[in-house]
Structure 1
Amino acid sequence: MQRPELYGLGPDALEEGTQLIPYQEHWLEANTAAAFANMARAAEDAGLALAICSGYRSFERQLQIWNAKATGRRPLLDALSRPVNPEGLSHARLVELILLWSALPGASRHHWGTDIDLFDANAISRQALRLSSDEYLPQGPCGPLHAWLQANAGRFGFYFPYQAGLSGVSPEPWHLSYFPVASGWLADYDPKALYLILERAELALKPQVLARLHDLVDEYVFRIAPAPTAMP
């Protein structure tokens, strides 16, 4: 398989030869880490403590998240972040609900180290953070951070890939992508390779996923908000 790291299967982050480097308590793609450090310094001047709550995520970690949601060990949410009772739902509906907020293993942008989930550590602790949309509304603890990122993230090469009406994944005002690198990774992404990976994985709802994989990849991997074409 060419470029297994596209699917979270590359060398372990602790091994040599990976595109990832340690950054604070996380692993990021090297150019992403440098750009984020510059952006964090600028945010600090505005009184914001730009902090990462999720960076690189492996295939195995994403598989754990998927299986936990598919089997009721983690909560399911609808598009408005309201809890959903999984009892009585069809397998197809379960797949759709999971994909609103969580990627298929092998299909997460977090596999690339170019995408990060952010919060304002001056306004809310990591322990209290729920990564819910209301926390990033103007009156929420991360509202000023979100407004600042909307105005300034593009200067550092970052943008929001998950936006209302523009992406299959629900809007995530905490999720930024470093588009100078991530755009190239997306262009190289191969749904056929993902099929072979998932076929061998211990994946909950596997028959339902594989039967619709082409359409799921189109909707939840390739349908994202358009990335800026160049750095400003």
Structure 2
Amino acid sequence: MNLSLISCGLSEIHLTDWHGKQVHEDIVTDLTALECAAKQAGFDLTIASAFRSFQRQAKIWNAKFSGHRPVNDINNCPVELSALSEIEKCKAIMLFSALPGASRHHFGSDLDIYAENCLGEQHTLQLAPWEYQAGGPFAEFNAWIDENLTDFGFFKPYAKYNGGVAQEPWHISHIATSKLLEQHQSIDAIADAINQHDVLGKQTILANLHILNDRFITNIAKV
């Protein structure tokens, strides 16, 4: 099993189906236990996004880099990409969207979650921080998750903004599985993946990959 290919979203051999979503086979037991505990606490834990392939991440990246998909700043205001250099454009995108080959969603161990039974009939899921904060529909669910997550082997890599990826209170990661795959999502592996595929801004990305790696890829919360 080539862990570098898995870590960069170029293999799906590690995946299995869980309630219609593709997740890493090694997280199923802990994820099911977390789901059951959440249910007992009154929350229907639901996955909004699980595994995402390199190709899918590249489509998101290219749409944003080309201006065909909006890019927002830390205050959720639109960014005028045409006024930015290519490296600044990369940084603006990586605030909310990972570089292809560098997304933790490639692992299958990382999930975006919400409580479906807390989603009001008039509310469309946005995966925005305010939804998980006081007054938001998932505030109580989020508080329960924060208190219990590590008991089931998970943590939040983007629990707060540390100058890299924006805060993502919905994003959880299976500690043991992601730790193993992080080691194989190396700069060389990411560079090889990008080199072999159609990724906009490729030359700028490769020339600045060490900087982008330190700020956005490995800059995560401690367990």
Same fold (TM over 0.5): yes
Contact 2:102 2:185 in 1 (8 A): no
- Give the structure 1 partner of residue 149 of structure 2: 153
Secondary structure of 2:117's match?
coil
Secondary structure of 2:82's match?
coil
- Give the structure 2 partner of residue 211 of structure 1: 207
* RMSD after superposition: 1.8
Contact 2:23 2:51 in 1 (8 A): yes
**Among candidates 90, 93, 98, match of residue 103 of structure 1:** 98
- Give the structure 1 partner of residue 4 of structure 2: 3
User: Structure 1: which 5+ residue stretches go unaligned?
Assistant: 228-232
**1:42-93 CA-partner distances (Å, limit 9, x unpaired):** 1111111110010011000000010111111211011122222323222222
- Give the structure 2 partner of residue 80 of structure 1: 75
**1:132-184 CA-partner distances (Å, limit 9, x unpaired):** 11111121011111111100011001110013254621110000000011111
Contact 2:81 2:89 in 1 (8 A): yes
Q: Percent identity?
A: 34
**1:82-111 CA-partner distances (Å, limit 9, x unpaired):** 222323222222111100011111000110
**Among candidates 112, 127, 131, match of residue 135 of structure 1:** 131
- Give the structure 1 partner of residue 24 of structure 2: 29
Contact 1:167 1:224 in 2 (8 A): no
**Among candidates 35, 54, 58, match of residue 53 of structure 2:** 58
Instruction: Supply the distance in 2 between the matched residues of 1:212 and 1:44 (Cα, whole angstroms).
Output: 45
Instruction: Supply the distance in 2 between the matched residues of 1:92 and 1:187 (Cα, whole angstroms).
Output: 25
**Among candidates 52, 57, 71, match of residue 66 of structure 2:** 71
**2:176 counterpart of 1:180:** yes
Instruction: Supply the distance in 2 between the matched residues of 1:125 and 1:85 (Cα, whole angstroms).
Output: 33
Structure 1's 47 and 213: CA in aligned 2 closer, same or farther, altered over 3 A? same
Instruction: Supply the distance in 2 between the matched residues of 1:139 and 1:199 (Cα, whole angstroms).
Output: 45
TM-score (norm 2): 0.93
Structure 1's 28 and 125: CA in aligned 2 closer, same or farther, altered over 3 A? farther
Secondary structure of 1:52's match?
strand
Greater mean deviation of Cα atoms: 103-112 or 197-206? 197-206
Contact 2:3 2:181 in 1 (8 A): no
Secondary structure of 1:34's match?
helix
Q: What is the CA distance between 1:33 and its match in structure 2?
A: 2.1
Give the aligned residue type for 2:150: G
Contact 1:167 1:225 in 2 (8 A): no
Instruction: Supply the distance in 2 between the matched residues of 1:112 and 1:45 (Cα, whole angstroms).
Output: 28
Give the aligned residue type for 2:131: E
Instruction: Supply the distance in 1 between the matched residues of 2:114 and 2:77 (Cα, whole angstroms).
Output: 21
Q: What is the CA distance between 1:194 and its match in structure 2?
A: 1.4
- Would you say how many aligned residue pairs link Structure 1 and Structure 2? 221
Structure 1's 71 and 128: CA in aligned 2 closer, same or farther, altered over 3 A? same
Q: Indicate the structure whose relative CO is greater, using CA pairs within 8 Å and at least 6 residues apart.
A: 2
- Give the structure 2 partner of residue 230 of structure 1: none
User: Structure 2: which 5+ residue stretches go unaligned?
Assistant: none
